[in-house]
Amino acid sequence: IAGITQAPTSQILAAGRRMTLRCTQDMRHNAMYWYRQDLGLGLRLIHYSNTAGTTGKGEVPDGYSVSRANTDDFPLTLASAVPSQTSVYFCASSPHALGQTTDTQYFGPGTRLTVL
């Protein structure tokens, strides 16, 4: 079982370019999440999805969009990257929506993104 995979592992991107970070899980979890990790700030939630076909905004959604066409995939898109989006991005999943249960989250290995 792979769990959660993320691609690419790392990326250097010019400002203004469009970029999609990929996330796939094989655990048939209903809920998925995108976080960014920045030094001194911990993890901040960007967007989440409680089930396929639905998405919601987290703490820092501006400049990012997501889609959830099926259970397994939850891509994160930066429409026009800016240097402040330089960060490490983690995708996570949980069996059910956090508001309904006490489920823990399972994290992918992360994508290190640098926007120049």
Partner 1 sequence: AQSVAQPEDQVNVAEGNPLTVKCTYSVSGNPYLFWYVQYPNRGLQFLLKYITGDNLVKGSYGFEAEFNKSQTSFHLKKPSALVSDSALYFCAVRDMKTGYQKVTFGTGTKLQVIP
Binding interface with partner 1 (CB under 8 A):
4, 35, 40-45, 48, 50, 56, 58-59, 90, 92, 97-99, 102, 104-110
Could you tell me the smallest distance in angstroms from the CB atom of residue 19 to partner 1?
A: 20
Q: Which is nearer to partner 1, 41 or 116 (CB)?
A: 41
Q: How many CA atoms lie within 13 A of 4 on its CB side?
A: 25
Q: Which is nearer to partner 1, 4 or 19 (CB)?
A: 4
Could you tell me the smallest distance in angstroms from the CB atom of residue 80 to partner 1?
A: 26
Burial profile 36-50: b = 16 or more Cβ within 10 angstroms, e = fewer? beeeeeeeebbbbbb
Q: Which is nearer to partner 1, 14 or 72 (CB)?
A: 72
Could you tell me the smallest distance in angstroms from the CB atom of residue 16 to partner 1?
A: 28
Could you tell me the smallest distance in angstroms from the CB atom of residue 115 to partner 1?
A: 20
Q: Which is nearer to partner 1, 80 or 101 (CB)?
A: 101
Q: Which of 91, 67, 88 is nearest to 3 (CA)?
A: 91
